[in-house]
């Protein structure tokens, strides 16, 4: 593994335009469970309530969302972990073009990556959006209106339906964000996948777009991915353990000058 960490560090040092693609494996290390894992959200709530069709048509489905949000402190209490800070360090070095993420927790921004450099393919669960006027509001502000009976709040401006600003089942990914992520993936020189199995599409197409355009591909994940055979380096392990070691090596290489 030491050799692979060294190789990834050298790729970083030699690269000018790096994209980091993150999945649930980064968030879980901050205490946010995978929705599908045992003890995850879907073991407590019916995922059918979170299809866009049911959410829009059913007050009870919307009540489930607000009940879940009021009861859950996972996102509210989550803090960036060492993997987030290692990625933010790439920004500090001037090498990070952007983070493309499947995560909905705002932790990249909290770790120091500017908001305009985080492309959230699946949205952000810390906000809600009005389906009528499209205004967005911080989720905690709206939660203050939720009573013990789980009243369903509506938009304070137009009284429209408030939806989590995350992509629900059956809902399209935000097209502007998806197009921008695709464009950037095709222009980077190094694409690093961290904490994703690359099994959720269309997000998982991003590293393929990058590799097809000539970028080097690196993967840091606990388990195999469908693109391991295309990667120049594959590191098996926890992102929060691997990435600080990679960045330590990057600092050493930069201080020693060109190799």
Reduced 3-state DSSP string for 131-179: CCCCCEEEHHHHHCCCCCCCCCCECCCCCCEEEEEECCECCCCCHHHHH
Count other C-beta atoms under 10 Å from residue 117's C-beta. Answer: 15
Whether the Cβ atoms of residue 161 and residue 131 lie closer than 8 Å to each other: yes
What's the distance, CA 186 to chain centroid? 19
The CA-based angle 46-44-123, given to 5 degrees, is 70
Residue 91 appears among annotated catalytic residues: no
Rounded CA-CA distance 202/206 in Å is: 8
Nearest residue to 127 (alpha-carbon basis) of 138, 116, 117: 138
Q: Which one from 84, 91, 122, 229 is the annotated catalytic residue?
A: 122
Place of tokens 């994209």: 19
Helical H runs in the chain?
2-14, 24-27, 52-57, 59-71, 74-77, 82-92, 107-111, 139-143, 175-185, 206-212, 239-256
Whether the Cβ atoms of residue 205 and residue 88 lie closer than 8 Å to each other: no
Q: What is the largest CA-CA distance in the chain?
A: 65
Active-site positions read: 122
């Amino acid at each position: 593994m030491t050799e692979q960490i060294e190789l990834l560090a050298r790729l970083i040092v030699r690269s000018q335009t790096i994209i980091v693609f993150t999945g649930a494996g980064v968030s879980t290390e901050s205490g946010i469970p995978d929705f599908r894992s045992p003890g995850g959200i879907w073991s407590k709530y019916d995922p059918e309530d979170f299809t866009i069709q049911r959410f829009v048509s059913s007050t009870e489905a919307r009540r489930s969302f607000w009940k879940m949000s009021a009861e859950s402190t996972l996102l509210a209490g989550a803090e960036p972990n060492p993997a987030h800070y290692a990625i933010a360090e790439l920004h500090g070095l001037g090498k990070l073009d952007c983070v493309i993420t499947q995560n909905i927790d705002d932790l990249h921004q909290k770790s120091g990556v500017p908001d305009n450099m985080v492309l959230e393919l699946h949205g952000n669960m810390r906000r809600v959006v009005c389906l009528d006027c499209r205004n967005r509001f911080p989720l905690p502000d709206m939660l203050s209106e939720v009573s013990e009976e789980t009243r369903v709040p509506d938009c304070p401006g137009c009284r429209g339906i408030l939806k989590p600003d995350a992509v629900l089942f059956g809902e399209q990914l935000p097209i502007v964000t998806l197009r921008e992520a695709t464009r950037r993936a095709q222009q980077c020189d190094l694409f690093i996948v961290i904490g994703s199995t690359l099994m959720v599409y269309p997000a998982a197409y991003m590293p393929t777009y990058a590799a097809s355009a000539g970028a080097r591909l690196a993967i840091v994940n606990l388990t195999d991915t469908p693109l391991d055979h295309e990667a120049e380096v594959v590191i098996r392990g926890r992102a929060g353990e691997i990435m600080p070691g990679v960045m330590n090596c990057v600092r050493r290489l930069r201080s020693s000058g060109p190799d």
